[in-house]
Amino acid sequence: MKFFLKILKDFPAYLWSGWGAIASILLFIALWDFGNQTYGNLVLPSPLETFQTLYVMLHDELVWNEINITLYRASVGFGLSLVFGSILGLIAGFFATASMMSRPVVTILVGMPPIAWIVLAMIWFGMGDETVIFTILVASFPIIFVGALQGTRTLDGDLKEMADSFHLPWHMKFIDVYFPHIFSYIFPAWVSGLGMAWKIVIMAELLATSDGLGASLAVARSQLDTPTALALVVIMIGSLMFIEYIILEPIKREVELWRS
Amino acid sequence: MEKLEVKNLNHHFGFTEILRDISFTLNKGKILSIVGPSGGGKTTLLHLCSGLLDVEEGSVTNTFDSSSFAFQEGRLLPWKNVVDNIALGLLAKGEKKSIAIQKAKEIALKFGLEEEDFLKFPKDLSGGMKQRVSFARALVVKPSLLFLDEPFSALDIGLKKELQTHLIEISREENISILFITHDMMEAIRLSDEILLLKADPGHIVKKFSYDLIQEKRDDRFVYEESAKILQDKDIIETFELNTLELK
């Protein structure tokens, strides 16, 4: 509780530090507008036109419906990989044999291109939610798994010994000695897993479903509707930036205050 | 009476013999140091005495009510600030949080830390401050036996002397017994009632030295003179291999 209050207290200062980021985004939009003036509206619509399209789209209930579908798939897929990745990673980390055996499997999972997973999933599950969720799961699970595994493998033996010398009870050992260390590995893994999930959901939808943001993107492509396509991209990037910079980053800063 | 009694202790790591036939007794209120070259099994011996390692052959009988440990490198929890680090041992004993914090602050001031340091994380502390925190953490639980694993070796001479003085004062006030290991003869002579000389390969005790003068009366002169004397000792020369590197 105290912890969340502290995050809220530091939040305005954190937001205030965002002016630099806003300046660089504006610079990027200026560059975009320059591209529009060079190549014309069909290839690259102007930022103004894109944001106008976006404004219209956000007032359309059907678009919100698509966004919700995509959000649902991404959260289920990411949620599953978060739970399984963290738990299995922790278990694998505590046993030397398990971590040795899981390494090649992880390499296969990471090395296999997501597009190949989509093809397999389409054959296995058909066109629908399961295909998308499965693809997200196999793509972001290994990232989180490895984070949890590394966190557990790199626990400091010296600190364990110190904890033993003070006869720390098991719950204190876990909360005060193991958890902060593991968390410093697993939390960044969650963040990259989430980024991966959000990218994969669009790709899987574009190829394997008839609804969701990815499918809308496919429709915009077939109609050569570049402003809508760009507006969709803005929605995707905007939501990712919101989650990462407004929700996750402040938490991360607070949790990792002790790091140099 | 509380005491630590080690009898015929042997220890192996795999097929390597680390310690052979170690026997000694540490009585209440006494300071015993074990000196010897690096890699001679000193740390293993200390870990066996403190229960961090399991005894395989021989026996270690510890009748002290409580004990705590201060390590060479501090070993502070990097994600806890100074006060929370010091309070760790108290909380482990089931002390109430507010009382533990209060006690931690008091002992921190005693060890020369300042109020503005209380909320700092270990990354912002100098080596000397970390070692003060580590000492405070070990002593705040009021142990009747304190284990020290070369706690002064990374400090400059001024700081070393200051912390040693604190240690002597507190151990006298609270009647704490201390078992500590070091490779620094002067340190051992300043602090100990008894010094055991541990020779390597495998670690065994070759000699005991006793000092009767109370610690508060041991001035620099005493320490230098006794050091000079002890460095002439045949066994010391042999144990630390002082003769092999003689300049021609």
Of the residues A165, A184, A254, the best mutation for testing chain B's interface (the one with the most B CB atoms within 10 Å of its CB) is A165
Count interface pairs A-B at CB distance under 8 A. Answer: 47
Task: Identify whether B59 is part of a domain.
Answer: yes
Mean pLDDT of chain A: 90
Nearest beta carbon to residue A167 from set B92, B121, B122? B92
Q: Is B75 on the interface with A (CB under 8 A)?
A: yes
Verify that B237 and B156 share a domain, yes or no: yes
Q: Which residues of A touch B97 (CB under 8 A)?
A: none
Highest mean pLDDT among A10-19, A223-232, B58-67, B198-207: A223-232
Residues 13 through 42 of chain B touching chain A, CB cutoff 8 Å:
none
Verify that B125 and B163 share a domain, yes or no: no
So what's the pLDDT on residue B248? Answer: 55
**Tens digits of residue pLDDT in A47-64:** 999 999 999 999 999 999
Whether B8 and B58 have beta carbons less than 8 Å apart is answered as yes
pLDDT above 70 covers a percentage of chain A that reads: 99
Task: Identify whether A71 is part of a domain.
Answer: yes
Chain A residue closest in CA terms to B89? A166
Task: Identify whether A110 is part of a domain.
Answer: yes
Q: Which residue, of B142, B163, B190, is where some domain finishes? A: B142
Verify that B101 and B46 share a domain, yes or no: no
CATH number of the domain to which B170 belongs: 3.40.50.300
Number of domains in chain B: 2
Minimal Cα–Cα distance from B189 to chain A, Å? 27
Q: Is B92 on the interface with A (CB under 8 A)?
A: yes
**Tens digits of residue pLDDT in A175-213:** 899 988 999 899 999 999 999 999 999 999 999 988 999
**Tens digits of residue pLDDT in B72-88:** 888 999 999 999 999 99
pLDDT at A1 over 70: no
pLDDT above 90 covers a percentage of chain A that reads: 58
Contact B92 A169 (CB under 8 A): yes
Minimal Cα–Cα distance from B120 to chain A, Å? 9
Nearest beta carbon to residue B77 from set A165, A176, A260? A176
**Tens digits of residue pLDDT in A60-84:** 999 999 999 999 999 999 999 999 9
* Domain of B211, in residue numbers: 1-66+144-248
* Domain of A189, in residue numbers: 60-222
pLDDT at A141 over 60: yes
Task: Identify whether A29 is part of a domain.
Answer: no
So what's the pLDDT on residue B245? Answer: 61
Q: Which residues of B touch A258 (CB under 8 A)?
A: 78-80, 121-123
Mean pLDDT of A15-39: 91
Q: Which residues of A touch B121 (CB under 8 A)?
A: 257-258
Q: Which residue, of B110, B142, B174, is where some domain finishes? A: B142
Verify that B150 and B136 share a domain, yes or no: no
Q: Is B240 on the interface with A (CB under 8 A)?
A: no
Residue B56: closest CA among B20, B32, B4: B20
Of the residues B47, B65, B68, B77, the best mutation for testing chain A's interface (the one with the most A CB atoms within 10 Å of its CB) is B77
Verify that B155 and B102 share a domain, yes or no: no
Number of domains in chain A: 1
Task: Identify whether A127 is part of a domain.
Answer: yes
Verify that B148 and B138 share a domain, yes or no: no
How many angstroms separate the CA atoms of B101 and B119, rounded? 12
How many angstroms separate the CA atoms of A185 and A147, rounded? 6
Minimal Cα–Cα distance from B75 to chain A, Å? 6
Whether B183 and B37 have beta carbons less than 8 Å apart is answered as yes
Verify that B189 and B213 share a domain, yes or no: yes
CATH number of the domain to which A110 belongs: 1.10.3720.10
Verify that B136 and B149 share a domain, yes or no: no
Chain B residue closest in CA terms to A257? B79
Sequence-ordered list of residues with C-beta below 8 angstroms from that of A209, at least 6 positions apart, any chain = A127, A128, A129, A131, A132, A215
So what's the pLDDT on residue B247? Answer: 58
Q: Which residue, of B142, B159, B182, is where some domain finishes? A: B142
Task: Identify whether A252 is part of a domain.
Answer: no
Task: Identify whether A140 is part of a domain.
Answer: yes
Mean pLDDT of A94-123: 89
Task: Identify whether B72 is part of a domain.
Answer: no
Task: Identify whether A107 is part of a domain.
Answer: yes
Contact B88 A159 (CB under 8 A): no
Verify that B148 and B229 share a domain, yes or no: yes
pLDDT band at A260 (very low <50, low <70, confident <90, very high): low
Nearest beta carbon to residue B123 from set A166, A181, A260? A260
Per-residue HEC secondary structure of chain B comes to CCEEEEEEEEEEECCEEEEEEEEEEEECCCEEEEECCCCCCHHHHHHHHHCCCCCCEEEEEECCCCEEEECCCCCCCCCCCHHHHHHHHHHHCCCCHHHHHHHHHHHHHHCCCCHHHCCCCHHHCCHHHHHHHHHHHHHCCCCCEEEEECCCCCCCHHHHHHHHHHHHHHHHHHCCEEEEEECCHHHHHHHCCEEEEEECCCEEEEEEEECCCCHHHCCHHHHHHHHHHHHCCHHHHHHCCCCCCCCC
So what's the pLDDT on residue A135? Answer: 94
Residue B241: closest CA among B201, B186, B210: B201
Q: Is B126 on the interface with A (CB under 8 A)?
A: no
Task: Identify whether A234 is part of a domain.
Answer: no
Chain A residue closest in CA terms to B78? A258
Residue segments in chain B with a per-residue pLDDT below the cut of 70: 244-248
Verify that B148 and B46 share a domain, yes or no: yes
Nearest beta carbon to residue B78 from set A167, A169, A258? A258
Of residues B183 and A143, the one with the higher pLDDT is A143
